[in-house]
A and B are shown apart, each in its own frame.
Chain A
Amino acid sequence: MPTLPNQEEKVTLDTFLRGLWEENPVFVMLLGMCPVLAVTNSVRNALAMGLATTFVLLASGTLVSLLRKLIPKQVRIAAYIVIIATFVTIVDYTIQAISLDLYNALGAFIQLIVVNCIILGRAEAYASKQRLGATLVNGLGMGIGFTFALLCLGAVRELLGNGTLLGLQVFSDQFQPWVVMILPPGGFFVLGAWLLLFAWLRQRRERRLLEQQGASVHGR
């Protein structure tokens, strides 16, 4: 029975850190833009969405990795979607049990984790070819990377759009909130600003690396 070929890699620090920086799902790969723009109008929503996605990423990764030798490649996408949908349903019920307010604030975006391409992408590109350990470490890195990105957006938008952080007043009463920041256009503005910053940082690092290489070549 043809399954996907195993391409197991050793678990290193890089397996974890890749998702945080080099392959950050939001800032580098630009995946999962829908929840990134829609639920980051406050830190609390961003954190809840990030944690829910991380949980689904880890749980579905575990099952996909454990069952990787049993899933025929022709039906793998269907199998992954069923597995992912299961855990999303579990998260949906759990959030309702934890807080109805939070559930209402996140709205349909909890159910839409099913079609978040970060999760299907990880299942297809990583979990289906790797051992459980590597899958969990990589998934955790990606999950934290995604949560970090959501928090970056959520913090800026809540601070500028509402003058608060995690619901606590930060600015004095005289601060006039930029309402546009918690509206949809604000999501695009803030995402654009963060992307600009990250692209600039990456370029600067690459330039330095090149200069160092150049220096070492000349030094020899």
Chain B
Amino acid sequence: MSSEAQVQQAPVTPSFAMLRTLGSIATLSGLLVVLVYHFTLPIIAENQRIAIEKAIFQVVPGAVSRKDFIAVGDRLLPADSEGAQGERIYAAYAADGRLRGVALQAAAQGYQDVIKVLYGYGPECQCIIGMKVLKMAETPGLGDKIASDPGFLRNFEALDAQVDAGGAGLAHPIVTVKHGAKTEPWQIDAISGATVSSKAIGRMLNASAQHLIPLIQRDLALLQHSN
């Protein structure tokens, strides 16, 4: 009985008051979020540009400027051309405007999550000239050495990626071999204790290079100069 009395005594909040309060708070919060979004948008875009350029110039040593292209089917198109949708590749140029190399993205499943890397291809030597891990969740102290181990990174200073005679793929597929068993220039020497992560790198480089490097070699004239 007492609870009934309490229910009767408690003043009722009009639904309108609840709607009004929630509506005003939502409006206020929307306004704040939009303000901050607009203020930070150019800064974030600039940060992203700097981050990607830093990575490109790291995997293509000696480059100072870049131009984006998109691989559509089996053709390369400038990134600003209309309706171009596909894999983005970055041509990187030296100070004198000559092509130094092309930065490409690759990804494959690692030990814990997908590993994403950016690697540089040098058309002069027809080889991979640099590799940088963009995103990974490999085990700290073991798998994450793929980003920092000097011996492992040395694999990517001149990793053979010649196109075969038909121009449809690589002459020798890129493979990861057991630590210390590297004998050919297209083999990657794995890190001992991080075989899964090392193999993932080999797999993703092979898949990406088999598809993109023949395209780049064929359309090299298009990429050749920065302007």
Contacts and interface: CB of A to CB of B under 8 A. Distances in A.
Nearest to A104: B135
B29 A72 contact: no
Nearest to A180: B141
Contacts of A34: none
Chain B residues touching A, range: 20 to 34
Interface in B1-38: 10-11, 13-14, 17-18, 21-22, 25-26, 28-29, 32-33, 36-37
Nearest to B12: A2
A83 interface: yes
Given A67-B25, A75-B22, A100-B48, A90 B135 contact: no
Interface string A75-114: 1001100110110011001101101100010000000000
Contact of A82 (B11, B29, B142): B29
Contact residues of B: prevailing secondary structure: helix
A32 interface: no
B114 interface: no
A1 B25 contact: no
B217 interface: no
Contacts of A89: 33, 36
Contact of B14 (A1, A71, A85, A97): A1
Given A177-B141, A183-B139, A96 B47 contact: yes
Contacts of B48: 100
A74 interface: yes
B29 A83 contact: yes
B29 A85 contact: yes
Contacts of A183: 139-140
Contact of B13 (A67, A74, A83, A96): A74
Contacts of A86: 28-29, 32-33
A79 B140 contact: no
Contacts of A82: 22, 25-26, 29
A156 to B, nearest CB: 16
Contacts of A179: 139-142
A177 B142 CA distance: 12
A93 B40 contact: yes
Nearest to A79: B25
B139 A75 contact: no
Contacts of A93: 36-37, 40, 44
Interface string B187-200: 00000000000000
Interface in B37-59: 37, 40, 43-44, 47-48, 51
Given A82-B25, A104-B135, A97 B44 contact: yes
Which of the listed residues B21, B33, B40 has the most CB atoms from chain A within 10 Å of its own CB? B21
Contacts of A90: 32-33, 36
9 contacts: A1-B11, A75-B21, A89-B36, A90-B32, A93-B36, A96-B47, A100-B51, A179-B139, A179-B140
Interface of A: 1-2, 41, 67, 70-75, 78-79, 82-83, 85-86, 89-90, 93-94, 96-97, 99-100, 104, 161, 177, 179, 182-183
The 5 A-B residue pairs with the shortest CB-CB distance, nearest first, are A179-B141, A86-B29, A97-B43, A97-B40, A93-B40
